[in-house]
Structure 1
Amino acid sequence: MSTETILCSVDELRTLFLFEKLTDEQLAWLCREGRVQMFEPGYVYREGDPATCFYVLLEGTVVLSRRVGADDVEVNRTSDRGVYSGAFQSYLGDRVPQVYNSSLRVPVASRFFVLSSEAFAQLMREWFPMAVHMLEGLFFGSQNAKQVIGQRERLLALGSLSAGLTHELNNPAAAALRATSTLRERVAGMRHKLGKIAGGPHERAELEALMELQEQAVEQAAKAEPLSPLETSDREDAVTDWMDDHGVTRGWELASTFVQSGLDASWLDRVEAVAAPANLDGALRWLGYTLETELLMNEIQDSTTRISALVGAARQYSQLDRAPYQVTDIHELLESTLQMLAGKIGPGVTVVKDFDRSLPRIPGYPGELNQVWTNLIDNAVSAMEGTGTLTVRTGLDRDQLLVEFGDTGPGIAPEIRDRIFEPFFTTKAVGEGTGLGLDISWRIVVNKHHGDLRVESVPGDTRFRVRLPLTAPQPDTEQEPS
């Protein structure tokens, strides 16, 4: 963009509200150190470039924009004389990244007073030392507060997840422990019964037939389908009646095991056909011990599989064994987060997963995206107060991957909708929220992934939409907004 350098006028600088209280000597210093430039329509500077100059509008129009994904979003447009932008954090030195945190362009030819960042830093430190100390304290105090509370936010989330994970792990672990204890008793009973059978008056053919029935019963138990409560009750009654008719002692004790294994009264007829009447009771109990052993081992397998899946979900969620930046499957992240938060979501919330599994893997920081999912799900569950429907949807939105979190809560009031992404703003009761969850989420999505995070809300239907680039170079280090 072409520029033209113009003679600086002390009298003109004096008319600007920014400089109206300066002395003649100070204004003369500004004219010596700075310059007046005319800029043709186009960009004066772009977001992310090294911040080298401080600009004050003398005449024309300026447009300030911020990058959101691949687009520049206009945040301010004005023709007011004296508005300023650029390297106004240069007085902080190398303690903060000295880059432009927005883009500035002029839609018409515009005239600026331009001061180098070094001269502006010198001006601030020498002319306003007390103000600089106050601004430094305010800036770095705010940064430290954000960092400390952000760490607390993550620790609270970790504590909540740990409590939920402990609860989720405790159930299958306790089930496996109970099953193991019962299994020990049943194996001892089966050994005792086997000893009686071996020492009893069984013919070899009878034993071989019983052994074959045992194998068939085990196979049947492995593929048994679950029954409804009514079907279970009817079949148990039928098996109990069969055993009573055949003189089996306490047959009702065995009925549940046979029915759970998928065996009914007609199958018991096969046992009666190969076992002598005097041996029928012992044969059925021996088969019952075998089947119960199988059922208990299945229960232990299911429990340990559940534990393994939870540990896998925790590893996937934390990304402890993964590179910080990688190409990842967004659905794996969502599944692990939902599994980790299952205890917190609770039984009163119905989770609907509307996933487009054909979506490609995308580059990003999976550990931090999991933090975004956690914040948005936690807010949705809190808004619904434990009752409602949480819908997690994925899809393609033009050239971006969309992840949407919907809840059936009361919605976000219009008067605060524009403030929910502000640091420290929260609608939760004192002590229940830090006000940084959505701010952190916005920074992760927009600053780190060059994506977009927006909300639409009416009573009964609130939707947070995260859009992420399908392909992108590794993002730069996050920059603080000015």
Structure 2
Amino acid sequence: MTEASAPVEEIKLQPCEPGKLTIDELRTLFLFEKLTDEQLTWIAEHGCTMHAPAGALVLREGDPAEQFFVLLSGTIALTRRVGQDDVQTTRTEQRGVYMGATQAYIRDDGVPRKYMASMRALDDADFFMLSAEDFGSMMRDWFPMAIHLLEGLALGYRSQQAAISERQRLMALGALSAGLMHELNNPAAAASRATGALRQRVAGMRHKLGMLAAGKVAPERLVALVELQEEVIERAAKAPTLTAMQTADREDELGEWLEERNVTGAWDVAAVFAQGGLDIDCLEEIQAKLETPKLLDKAVQWISYALETEQLMSDIEDATGRVSNLVLAAKQYSQLDRAAHQWIDVHTGLDSTLVMLGHKIGTGVTVVKDYDRTLPQVPAHPAELNQVWTNIIDNAVQAMNGAGTLTVSTFRKDDYVVVSIGDTGPGIPEELRKRVFEPFFTTKPVGEGTGLGLDISYRIVTNGHGGDIHVQSQPGDTRFLVKLPITEPASR
């Protein structure tokens, strides 16, 4: 359930009650366990406890950060607003976790302090609270040196992270854009070449038609020849696809037949007829339709131009269809025209991601799809999941160094849809396998990778979708398994 659809106004928070926690109870919270009795007494006197019923919105992103919260019991979820939707960033029931006015210790710099996320109680929850003013003054009075360090770290990290994140996003966007342009260039160039060739063939066909007319072909014979042209094109459309060896053999047969009858450019014409899957019987029929054998050369050339014109138009249709499919894949990948949270078929996102990464996968990597098309749809943020697929597939391709087999499979396990992405690379050593989901951990050189990181992928799957992700690896067989629930998580 998103925040926008939750019955926020119907659930009221109970007033904060002062003096409810003793210093011994405060000491059981990891934040306060090392404080003195005098400090704990001050905190107990200045703080209060509050109860939040299940479903209550405790604080809202963007509101003034006036309170510092410590969780005493219950389960809470933190969400951030992205576009028109709320994305869950944290879900926890750990006693002692804190949130709210966590940077109240930073001295007034003219920037209003606001809550960076919304917090909702998923079940009945209890909190210990300090006002932002009390929390800030306490920190500055009791830990002045630490505050100087924390202020410097907070402000420095904020500016550094903004610059780095922007750069990473631009690099990832640039890589994907370059790949998409590369993929679009191939069919666009093919369509352009086919269009140029088509113009020449149409001009040649008009020329040959004029020569046929100049040959004083009887009207009924010319009509019959036009009908035969249509029959040849229809026969070519229905002809079975030949292998390269069969096409070469057919071209030899046709070339010899045409050469024996002194047809101009016999082997060029033979290549067109062989490509269309036509045989000598077709040429025999063309010859039988003519009033005189002298017209065979011009008639065959004319039909050859018409047949090649059809083939070129098919090439153009295929190329423009490829462009349309790439644009559709880009739209599905970005999810720009869709709701952020929706019920999806995971295969759609997997396919669009494979298309978008086609330039990175290259020709040396064989892609094997083993999809269970009977799987139900799952509730998800598809744009976020596409980033997960991007990161895992990109890692797999890099691990194989451009040569190997990438296997993408889906199946159901209990109440989950499972996506398995495997590669035949050297594998992940056990000591690194334990760390792949740690923040900022990477085995790639500086400047390589998607800039996303498996830790963010892990949080997208677990916190954002209520699923799970883990890795199985041995030399020649590494698999990342992503489990997504088929029902709406309780935190939605």
TM-score under structure 2 length normalisation:
0.78
Cα 1:383–1:398 change in 2 (3 A) is same
Identify the match of residue 29 of structure 1 among 36, 42, 53.
Answer: 42
Aligned counterpart in structure 1 of residue 455 of structure 2, from 429, 435, 439? 439
Q: Compare 426-435 and 25-34 and name the one that shifted more.
A: 25-34
Q: Distance in 1 between matches of 2:249 and 2:422?
A: 43
State how many pairs are aligned: 438
* Alignment check: 8 A CA contact 2:422 2:478 kept: yes
User: Which residue of structure 2 lines up, in the alignment, with residue 127 of structure 1?
Assistant: 142
1:351 to 354, 367, 373: 367
**CA distance 1:193–1:7, change in 2 (3 Å):** closer
**CA–CA distance in structure 1, aligned partners of residues 31 and 279 of structure 2:** 94
Aligned AA (1:372): V
Matches within 5 A, 1:267-306: 267-275=282-290, 276-306=292-322
Task: Confirm or deny: 8 A CA contact 1:149 1:436 kept in the other structure.
Answer: no
Asked whether 1:243 is paired with 2:243, we answer no
Q: Is the 8 A contact 2:259 2:266 kept in 1?
A: yes
Deviation (angstroms), 1:283: 1.0
Residue 63 and residue 308 in structure 1: after superposition, are their counterparts in 2 closer, same or farther (change >3 A)? closer
Change (3 A) 1:8 1:347: closer
* 2:225 paired with 1:210: yes
* Aligned position for 1:252: 267
Residue 195 of structure 1 corresponds to which residue in structure 2?
Answer: 210
What amino acid maps onto 1:414 in structure 2? Answer: E
Partner of 1:92, secondary structure, is coil
Cα distance change on mapping 1:65 and 1:280 into 2, 3 Å:
same
| 1:415 alignment counterpart | 431
454-463 or 142-151, larger mean C-alpha shift: 142-151
Q: Does 1:166 align with 2:181?
A: yes
Secondary structure of 2:457 counterpart: helix
Counterpart CA distance in 2 for 1:117 and 1:6 is 12
Q: CA RMSD in A?
A: 3.8
Which of 66, 90, 97 is 1:86 aligned to?
97
TM-superposition CA deviations, 1:438-461 (whole Å, max 9, x none): 122122212222221211222221
Q: CA deviation at 1:466?
A: 1.2
SS in 1 for 2:440: coil
CA distance in 1, matches of 2:268, 2:71: 89
Structure 2 equivalent of residue 39 of structure 1: none
Gap change, CA 1:419 and 1:152, over 3 Å in 2: farther
CA distance in 2, matches of 1:66, 1:463: 30
Deviation at 1:230, TM superposition (A): 1.5
Taking a change above 3 Å as real, the CA distance of residues 6 and 249 of structure 1, as seen in their structure-2 partners, is closer
Alignment identity in percent? Answer: 50
**Equivalent residue of 1:357, what SS?**
coil
Q: Distance in 1 between matches of 2:217 and 2:31?
A: 111
Normalising by structure 1, we get a TM-score of: 0.79
Is the Cα–Cα contact under 8 Å of residues 426 and 435 in structure 1 kept in the other structure? Answer: no
Report the residue type matching 1:401 in the other structure.
V
- The SS at the match of 2:419 is strand
1:466 partner amino acid: V
CA distance in 1: counterparts of 2:432 and 2:75, whole angstroms: 24
Native 8 Å contact 2:409 2:419 kept in 1: yes
> How many angstroms apart in 2 are the aligned matches of 1:121 and 1:86?
18
Q: Which residue of 2 aligns with 1:379?
A: 395
Residue 284 of structure 1 aligns to a residue whose secondary structure is helix
Q: 1:437: Cα distance to partner?
A: 2.0
Structure 2 unpaired stretches of 5+: 1-18, 60-66, 79-89, 105-113
